[in-house]
Structure 1
Amino acid sequence: MILIQQFTKLPVFRQLSHKELKKVKKENENELIVGDRKFIKQNSFKNFLKFRTKVLISVSFVLFFVSYSMLNLNFVTNSWLKNNGFFTLFFCGLYVWLFWFYLKNLYQKRTKPKLINYLMFSGVIYISFSSLFQYDLIQGFLSAGREGSINQLILYNYFYIFLFNMAFYFITDIFDIDLAKFKAKKLNYYTSTDNLLLVVENEN
């Protein structure tokens, strides 16, 4: 499979048409010719990120509004202490830092740090344990569930953490698949003056 992206357009790859594929020639291990364009193999981290630019932009766009909602809710309702707002801010910030740490290691070492695996679902684990203490278990049990409840603002904070946790898992999972193909030499990047070419070896 061969995908192409023009630098001057929205960062979305498209697959080469059947007509374009007929014009692809491999000059040598480091050069591809597509029509009258010559592409040079350049397996750089920059090109690695460019292939997933659309994913990064989409997730960042969603998390920007989630962050705004989270900060606005906790400031307006003064929920930083009484409704676990500080914990929410901590875990959201943690996942931002973990993603930066993840990318830094991909760039420098082409590896996934073990710390990422250890903290991957720390937000979900926190929600599980914290909800046990927030929920009035004894009262809920004695009243057959009619009186036990969780503060709604705390539920919102749990939801923010859950969204950041799932977004982090989603992005790293996609990057891990790309990295595995990259290491197995099943994925290569070729560049010309204004285009980026992605070549993925068929896995059938």
Structure 2
Amino acid sequence: MNWSIVFFVVMMLLLLRILRLRIRANSTRSESFKRLPPKDQLAVLKECLLNNPSEANLRNLADFSKRTSLEIDVESYRPFLKSQLEIFGRKDAIADDNELYAKECEWMDAITPLEFEEAKAFKQENETQKFIERTLEGIARLYSDDAILNALSELAPDYPHANELAESYRALMQARDESLADDKSLEKLRKQKEAWEEDLLNVRI
């Protein structure tokens, strides 16, 4: 089973995650959003677009790109919007959507979370703990399996616990792939993922 199944079934839980970032998906022009640091604004905009692929959310990301001079190839996302419309209502929609969701995650991860830039600066200043903390925060804002595992692998020489995090993430991937799609199974999987994220952000120096 793909994360996209979990994603759609627990949509409200994902919306709560956005609320924890202090912004609703449809209010990215509000004062509360404008007060967020750029790294949080970017995270919100990416998650809004992934939660609800739409021209409006894509335009919000494009506006952020122009405002911050962050290079984002917004036009390359439009084929995903078209594909969403094409697979809607098909009998094999779940299988097609799994594949589409994986590609969308890869697209999102190509927009590097700004936490990684902050981490790089801390490393140059020999601020090891801050470097590790910011890198882990960046990993928490990645979506695809490969991006998460690659980032953990790169961090491992400076943070050995990253190896354990990678192993536990692989176990989580296996649990996801073998999970049923009923509410009880999805709730169990959600709790496993939350526990992994908590371990990820609990820095062990």
TM-score, normalised relative to structure 2: 0.34
TM-score, structure 1 normalization: 0.34
Q: Which has the higher contact order (CA 8 A, sep 6+)?
A: 1
Higher alpha-carbon Rg: 1
